[in-house]
Amino acid sequence: MLWNSNRNCPEYLNEVRKMLENEEANAEYWLQPETKTKMLKIVEMELITKMAEMVSSKDSGCVYMFE
């Protein structure tokens, strides 16, 4: 992801928060409740869990935020 390559941890987490809010609003409009929950878990996994190592490897204090 190019949009996160030059962000520090707080900036990245702020962008993730905005993306999650946007995805939740879209899901609320377009998806059934059970599908919405599954989709949001996938988005969280991709944006937070899978990217945590890459983001925390930067010298930004992020390691302490994830503990």
pLDDT tens-place values along the chain, 67 residues long: 455 567 777 788 888 899 999 999 999 999 999 999 999 999 988 888 877 777 666 665 666 666 6
| Dist CA 52 CA 61 (whole Å) | 12
pLDDT at residue 58, as a whole number: 61
- Burial (0-12, 13-18, 19+ Cβ within 10 Å), 55: buried
pLDDT of residue 1: 47
Enter the pTM of the model: 0.70
Residues 6 or more apart in contact with residue 51 via CB below 8 angstroms? 1, 4, 12
* 16: CB partners within 8 A, 6+ apart: 47, 48
Q: What is the reported pLDDT for 10? A: 79
Residue whose entry in the numeric block shows the structure tokens 């879209």 = 26
